[in-house]
Amino acid sequence: VSVGFSAETSLNQLKSTNKISERQSLEIKNECRTFLVTILRKLQDKCPVQHQLVRSMQCLDPKNMAGSKEKSLVQMRRVLKILVESNRLDEMACDDVLREFGDFCDFASHQEGFRDFDPKKDRVDTLLYESMGISRAFSNAWNV
């Protein structure tokens, strides 16, 4: 791990004027490296990808819905569990949501827009709204 160009230059100047020893220079570099590693670990721990809710929201990926209904349902169950535990959703609604979401995955598997979804060209929100949001059959799933 590099401590950076400016820090390296400053350390070399201090060593050349005998204000710090070679050992002190190495200690400073090691402390900087330790600091950087610690900060990066903390950032990674707080990264949204580490949270189960974010990982489970893959169930809303159109290709996943069209390609693997079972996997999407497992992930949706996790999402619902987290929402119920955080008091964001009534537990009584979960069965209806899962049923509708399963039906929607069946619907998605027959739709070309889901199977061929390209996130570089298409928008997930638009696709889901046009297929789920305006349909009464999927209203409980849409509300989640």
Q: Which residue intervals of 19-119 are DSSP H helices?
A: 22-46, 52-56, 62-67, 69-85, 94-109, 112-115
Residue 1 has what pLDDT?
Answer: 61
Q: How confident is the model at residue 140 (pLDDT cuts 50, 70, 90)?
A: very high
Using a cut of 0.75, tell me whether the model's pTM lies above it. Answer: no
Reply yes or no on whether the pLDDT at 46 is more than 80: no
Which residue in the block uniquely carries the two structure tokens 């060593």? 15
Per-residue model confidence as pLDDT tens digits over 99-136: 999 999 999 999 999 999 999 999 999 999 999 999 99
Q: How far is CA 74 from the centre of its chain?
A: 17
d(CA 51, CA 32): 29
Return the SS3 of 117.
Answer: coil
Residue 122 has what pLDDT?
Answer: 92
Domain residue spans in the chain? 5-46, 50-143
Per-residue model confidence as pLDDT tens digits over 62-71: 999 999 999 9
Per-residue model confidence as pLDDT tens digits over 74-97: 999 999 999 999 899 999 999 999
Within 10 angstroms of residue 88's Cβ, the number of other Cβ atoms is 10
